[in-house]
């Protein structure tokens, strides 16, 4: 008597799911956009019931309104239980599951509600209650981009709340745009709710925030014995430390110290990006960076003011201070662990600590630096030279310096709008570049981008043959 017929491979859900992942679903459009083309997968779902059940999760794995705006809303709501990645730029209602035997409830009508409870990536806009509902019903979220205002509504700018992220158990990446810091100092408590998982944070276009964060605990060896296993303090109070390793801060619209002081609570910080920091308290920031012994990558972006056709950039001395904070650290930190019990990347400068020569400790050093600058100015150049063997990557976007008509040099040019533009000193920067290359033997990539027409031909800025393999000069002003 023969046994049961063997199961065909195309009847196994695991095989069908794997096949669906290789079928085309998106195609490249114009200007970096994508086009949703589900025809192939839709045809497969018509083969059989097993094909449909196996391929629907792949077909609706992502919904992004920016690229799928022609899709009927009824289809979006119908298949929303399959969404794992969701991008919405207008408010919708959300189905809120209940713990009782009653049916789920919605904030408006059931026909216009999303039933998303398996999201791992969320991109939302606005200040509607449904935005918070999506966070509450998806505690497993790993990535969130939340812009506080939207062109589809007249929402006021939302204010940071201490419990905004409470309940999220696996959040690793967070970007907030156009929020108000408020006056209650809620930024740090909000981030501490996800302190065990969050490693990448970007804060864009924040305003307000007159409150100041409390002074941080010193990240020294003396504190380590008092850390509880859950990284709290032994007296039961919650730990103030964050595990953020990559931090981006846009400082254009606020002079609050809440953002600048945030870095003092990030002892594992490795990568820092500052945007529009010309008016910020850079001295305070550099002081707070003493709590970040692993900092090795810095990016500083200026900001363009189209009305005045000018580009605001940090002063030479401020650049030098930022670079130098990666190359030294307080003596107490040279013997410490981070507040999480992890070793910090520190080397001793000079002889051992037992020699008693009083020399300060040295961090792992600056590995990558990228910035908008006016050229290789003296203090900034000297700080890069001091980075020495640690520096591996250097990317500078050079803008010609501009100043008022009251400070006119005979070698300057004045355009039709009365703005005075200084002539670019090519010879000086060539010599400065060679000094950097000589002092930093481990440089693997150097790129100089000239945004203004400071010279008519990029070949005028020549590079010694010894370094032509690692130095790239781009003249975008021609």
What's the CA gap between 368 and 300, in Å, rounded? 11
Phi, psi of 381, deg, nearest 5: -65, -45
Which whole number is the average pLDDT over 284-290?
A: 91
Beta bridge partners of residue 124, listed in sequence order: 146
* Alpha-carbon separation of residue 326 from 364, 414, 437, 461 (angstroms): 8, 39, 19, 30
pLDDT digits (tens, 9 = 90+) for 301-320: 988 766 555 778 889 999 99
Q: What is the band of 37 on the pLDDT scale with cuts at 50, 70, 90?
A: confident
Task: Pick the more confident residue, 152 or 380.
Answer: 380
The answer on pLDDT for 439 being more than 90 is: yes
Sign for the pseudo-dihedral over CA of 347, 353, 355, 359: positive
Residue with tokens 């799911």: 17
Which whole number is the average pLDDT over 329-336?
A: 44
The answer on pLDDT for 432 being more than 60 is: yes
Task: Pick the more confident residue, 424 or 1.
Answer: 424
Residue with tokens 């981070």: 338
Length of the chain as a residue count: 478
The answer on pLDDT for 169 being more than 90 is: yes
What's the CA gap between 283 and 274, in Å, rounded? 14
What's the CA gap between 95 and 331, in Å, rounded? 55
The answer on pLDDT for 274 being more than 90 is: yes
* Domain locations in the chain as residue ranges: 13-59, 366-478
Q: What is the pLDDT of residue 402?
A: 58
pLDDT digits (tens, 9 = 90+) for 222-269: 443 333 334 443 344 567 889 999 999 998 888 788 898 899 999 999
* Alpha-carbon separation of residue 156 from 149, 164, 203 (angstroms): 7, 17, 18
Q: What number of other Cβ atoms are within 10 A of residue 363's Cβ?
A: 23
In 235-339, beta strands by DSSP E: 246-250, 271-275, 297-301, 303-305, 310-312
Q: C-alpha 25: how far from its chain's center?
A: 28
The β-bridge relationship of strands 34-36 and 26-28 is: antiparallel
pLDDT digits (tens, 9 = 90+) for 345-365: 433 333 333 334 444 444 578
Q: What is the band of 121 on the pLDDT scale with cuts at 50, 70, 90?
A: very high
Nearest to 361 by CA among 340, 333, 381: 333
Phi, psi of 284, deg, nearest 5: -65, -40
Q: What is the pLDDT of residue 356?
A: 40
* Alpha-carbon separation of residue 31 from 35, 36, 441 (angstroms): 12, 15, 39
What's the CA gap between 403 and 387, in Å, rounded? 31
Q: What is the band of 393 on the pLDDT scale with cuts at 50, 70, 90?
A: very high
Q: What is the band of 122 on the pLDDT scale with cuts at 50, 70, 90?
A: very high
Residue with tokens 């000589």: 438
Average pLDDT, the chain: 76
The pTM of the whole model exceeds 0.85 = no
What's the CA gap between 429 and 408, in Å, rounded? 22
319 neighbors 374 (Cβ within 8 angstroms): no
- Who contacts 333 (Cβ-Cβ below 8 Å, separation ≥6)? 219, 220, 290, 293, 344, 346, 361
Task: Pick the more confident residue, 177 or 452.
Answer: 177
* Alpha-carbon separation of residue 381 from 378, 384, 429, 467 (angstroms): 5, 5, 9, 18
Q: What is the pLDDT of residue 189?
A: 92
Helices 426-439 and 378-387 pack at an angle, to 10 degrees, of 20
């Amino acid at each position: 008597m023969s046994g049961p017929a063997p199961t065909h491979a195309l009847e196994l859900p695991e095989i069908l799911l794997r096949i669906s992942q290789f079928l085309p679903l998106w195609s490249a459009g114009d200007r970096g956009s994508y086009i949703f083309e589900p025809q192939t997968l839709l045809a497969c779902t018509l083969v059989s019931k097993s094909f449909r059940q196996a391929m629907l999760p792949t077909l609706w794995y992502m919904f992004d309104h920016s690229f799928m705006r022609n899709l009927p809303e009824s289809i979006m709501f119908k298949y929303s239980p399959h969404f794992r990645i969701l991008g919405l730029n207008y408010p919708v209602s959300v189905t809120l599951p209940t713990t009782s035997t009653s049916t789920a409830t919605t904030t408006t009508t059931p026909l216009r509600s999303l039933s998303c409870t398996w999201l791992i990536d969320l991109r939302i806009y606005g200040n509607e209650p449904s935005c918070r509902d999506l966070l509450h019903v998806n505690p497993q979220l790993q990535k969130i981009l939340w812009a506080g205002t939207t062109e589809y509504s007249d929402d006021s700018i939302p204010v940071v709340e201490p419990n905004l992220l409470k309940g999220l158990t696996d959040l690793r990446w967070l970007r907030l745009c156009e929020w108000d810091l408020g006056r209650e100092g809620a930024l740090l408590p909000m981030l501490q709710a996800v302190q065990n998982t969050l490693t990448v944070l970007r804060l864009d276009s924040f305003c307000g925030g007159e409150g100041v964060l409390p002074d941080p605990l010193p990240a020294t060896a003396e504190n380590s014995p008092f850390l509880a296993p859950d990284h709290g303090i032994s007296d039961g109070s919650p730990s103030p430390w964050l595990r953020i390793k990559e931090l981006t801060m846009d400082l254009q619209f606020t002079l609050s110290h809440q953002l600048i002081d945030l870095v003092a609570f990030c002892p594992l910080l490795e990568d820092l990006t500052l945007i529009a920091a010309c008016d910020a308290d850079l001295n305070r920031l550099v002081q707070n960076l003493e709590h970040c012994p692993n900092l090795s990558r810095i990016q500083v972006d200026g900001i363009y003011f189209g009305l005045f056709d000018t580009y605001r950039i940090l002063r030479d001395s401020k650049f030098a201070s930022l670079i130098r904070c990666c190359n030294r650290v307080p003596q107490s930190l040279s013997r410490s662990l981070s507040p999480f019990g992890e070793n910090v990347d520190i080397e001793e400068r000079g002889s051992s600590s037992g020699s008693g020569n009083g020399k300060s400790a040295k961090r792992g050093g600056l590995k990558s630096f990228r910035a908008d600058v006016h050229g290789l100015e003296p203090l900034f150049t000297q700080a890069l030279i001091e980075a020495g063997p640690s520096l591996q990557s250097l990317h500078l976007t050079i803008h010609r310096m501009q100043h008022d008509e009251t400070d006119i040099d005979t070698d300057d040019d004045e355009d039709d709008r009365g703005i005075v533009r200084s002539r670019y000193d090519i010879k000086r920067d060539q010599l400065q570049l060679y000094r950097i290359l000589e002092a930093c033997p481990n440089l693997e990539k150097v790129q100089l981008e000239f945004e203004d027409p400071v010279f008519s031909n990029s070949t005028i800025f020549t590079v010694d043959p010894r370094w032509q393999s690692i130095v790239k000069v781009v003249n975008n002003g021609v």
